[in-house]
């Protein structure tokens, strides 16, 4: 056992051989019961993980579930900042992440020390940070938002209050347009949502004129201008279910197509093409989690998210403000 735990620091996950005959779905279900564990998964996880999860959601839904659960263990099938968020909201619970190296290019684009000096240059600005950031950035923020509630969060701030928005410049620019603000934007971006090719999307639309283009607000301005509908992952999923169109070109991470197809089996979902020939609209961080790593993480209760209490308390404050504003706006289920 000790050898395996040593390996976590190098590899980020438990590297233990698994009997190939094992039914991992059944084993994971059994471990959930034995350990009173809840398995939360983001829509960008691979289909097998989504199928075995207790709850699948976007960042806001997942944060809310993490806050409400009475399970002893939260197993987070997502990326590091999401598991960290669950820990911030749930200090008494054990929070597990199958692969500690499941990071996020957007969160990485805001190193805390550099962000802190940027913030200090704008002392009159209120800091609103997108949830896709580290606990250190959360601790430097006044309010957190997600793509589901960002507009409402910004509208809750008096119009004459200057705002610094971090870390996603694309989401920030979209929100400036929507709310008529002139927020100061940190220069970060998501490597997955920046990759879509407008040229290829236009050609695809010519071939599928009936298809509606739906996009996540982390996409670049030109892609958003081309979209028929813009929304968070959950909002895109709902739109694909309720809209009359039967074909959709989807400009976000491909993992969401699994739920879209399941919920609307007779509709066609086409992933928006990236700028090159690779599968770049698969998030390489999200896809580091596998069913095998998930099983091992539940069995051995590692890797675990740990956080220094002062940092947790500082990061919790803007999260609580986000939850309060979201509740008042009727955005929590
Ligand atoms: P949402 O879950 O808020 O739609 O954000 C998408 C994302 O990029 C998560 O990493
Ligand atoms: Fe980060 Fe983008 Fe991956 Fe989401 S899709 S985890 S924002 S890199």
Task: Give the domain ranges of the chain.
Answer: 6-103+286-307, 106-190+314-328, 196-271
Instruction: Give the model confidence (pLDDT) of 194-217 as tens digits.
Output: 999 899 999 999 999 999 999 999
For the chain, what is the mean pLDDT? 95
Does 136 sit in the ligand 1 pocket, CB within 6 Å?
no
| Rounded Cα gap, residues 193 and 250, in angstroms | 11
Q: Are strands 268-271 and 163-166 parallel, antiparallel or unpaired?
A: unpaired
pTM above 0.85, yes or no: yes
The correct CATH number of 196-271 out of 3.20.20.10, 3.40.50.300, 2.20.28.160, 3.40.50.10800 is 3.40.50.10800
CB-CB contact of 44 with 147 (8 Å) = no
What residues pair up with 56 in beta bridges, in sequence order?
Answer: 41
Out of 192, 218, 279, mutate this one to test ligand 2's pocket (max ligand atoms within 8 Å of CB): namely 192
129-149 average pLDDT score = 97
Ligand whose nearest atom lies closest to the CA of 80: 2
CB burial of 98-118 (b: ≥16 within 10 Å; e: otherwise) equals bbbebbbbbbbbbeeeebeeb
* Ligand 2 surroundings by CB, under 6 angstroms: 44, 79, 104-106, 132, 190-192, 253, 283, 285-286
For the segment 25-51, what is each residue's pLDDT rounded down to a tens digit? 999 999 999 999 999 999 999 999 999
Across the range 256-278, mean pLDDT stands at 93
pLDDT of residue 279: 67
pLDDT at 1: 47
Rounded mean pLDDT, 290-295: 97
Closest C-alpha to 232, from 219, 217, 245, 214: 217
**So what's the pLDDT on residue 332?**
82
- Name, in order, each residue with C-beta under 8 angstroms of 23's C-beta and a sequence gap of 6 or more: none
Whether 6-103+286-307 and 106-190+314-328 share one fold: the answer is: yes
146 lines ligand 1 (CB under 6 A): yes
* H/E segment holding residue 65: helix 59-68
Ligand 1 in reach of 59 Cβ (< 6 A): yes
pLDDT at 3: 53
Highest mean pLDDT: which of 159-168, 275-284, 321-330?
Answer: 159-168
pLDDT digit string, tens, across residues 66-107: 989 999 999 999 999 999 999 999 999 999 999 999 999 999
Q: Does residue 331 carry a pLDDT above 90?
A: no
Ligand 1 atom with the shortest distance to the CA of 232:
4
For residues 304-314, give the mean pLDDT.
97
The DSSP code sequence of 31-49 is: HHHHHTEEEEEETTS-HHH
What's the chain's length in residues? 333
Name the fold adopted by 6-103+286-307.
Answer: Rossmann fold (3.40.50)
Residue 10 has pLDDT above 90, yes or no: no
Short-list 30, 29, 82, CA closest to 54? 29
**Tokens representing 177?**
């347009």
Q: How far apart are CA 75 and CA 59, in angstroms?
A: 15
Which are the contacts of 36, defined by CB distance < 8 A and separation ≥ 6? 71, 72, 73
Tell whether domain 106-190+314-328 is in CATH 3.30.70.2190: no
> What is d(CA 82, CA 132) in angstroms, rounded to the nearest whole number?
8
State the Cα–Cα distance between residues 331 and 101, nearest whole angstrom.
31
Give the model's confidence band at 274: pLDDT under 50 very low, under 70 low, under 90 confident, else very high: confident
pLDDT over 90 (residue 333) = no
């Amino acid at each position: 056992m000790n050898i395996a735990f040593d390996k976590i620091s190098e590899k980020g996950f438990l590297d233990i051989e698994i009997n190939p005959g094992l039914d991992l779905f059944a084993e994971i279900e059994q471990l959930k019961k034995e350990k009173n564990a809840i398995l939360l998964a983001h829509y960008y996880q691979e289909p097998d993980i989504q199928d075995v999860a207790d709850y699948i959601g976007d960042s806001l839904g997942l944060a809310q579930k993490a806050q409400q659960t009475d399970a002893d263990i939260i197993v987070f099938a997502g990326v590091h900042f999401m598991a960290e968020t669950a820990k911030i909201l749930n200090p008494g619970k054990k929070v597990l992440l199958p692969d500690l190296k499941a990071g996020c290019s957007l969160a990485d684009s805001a190193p805390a020390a550099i962000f802190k000096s940027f913030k200090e240059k704008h002392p009159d600005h209120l800091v609103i940070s997108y949830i896709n950031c580290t606990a250190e950035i959360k601790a430097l923020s006044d309010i957190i938002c997600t793509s589901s509630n960002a507009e409402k969060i910004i509208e809750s701030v008096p119009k004459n209050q200057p705002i610094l928005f971090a870390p996603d410049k694309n989401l920030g620019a979209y929100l400036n347009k929507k709310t008529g603000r002139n927020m100061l934007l940190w220069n970060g971006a998501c490597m997955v949502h920046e990759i879509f090719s407008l040229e290829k999307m236009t050609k695809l639309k010519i071939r599928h004129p009936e298809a509606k283009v739906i996009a996540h607000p982390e996409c670049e301005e030109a892609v958003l201008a081309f979209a028929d509908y813009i929304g968070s992952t959950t909002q895109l999923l709902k739109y694909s279910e309720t809209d009359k169109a039967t074909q959709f070109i989807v400009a976000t991470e491909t993992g969401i197509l699994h739920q879209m197809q399941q919920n609307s089996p007779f509709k066609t979902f086409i992933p928006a093409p990236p700028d090159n020939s690779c599968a770049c609209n698969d998030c390489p961080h999200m896809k580091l989690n596998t069913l095998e790593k998930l099983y091992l993480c539940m069995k051995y209760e590692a890797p675990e998210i740990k956080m220094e209490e002062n940092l947790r308390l500082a990061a919790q404050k803007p999260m609580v403000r986000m939850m309060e504003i979201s509740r008042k706006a009727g955005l929590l289920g």
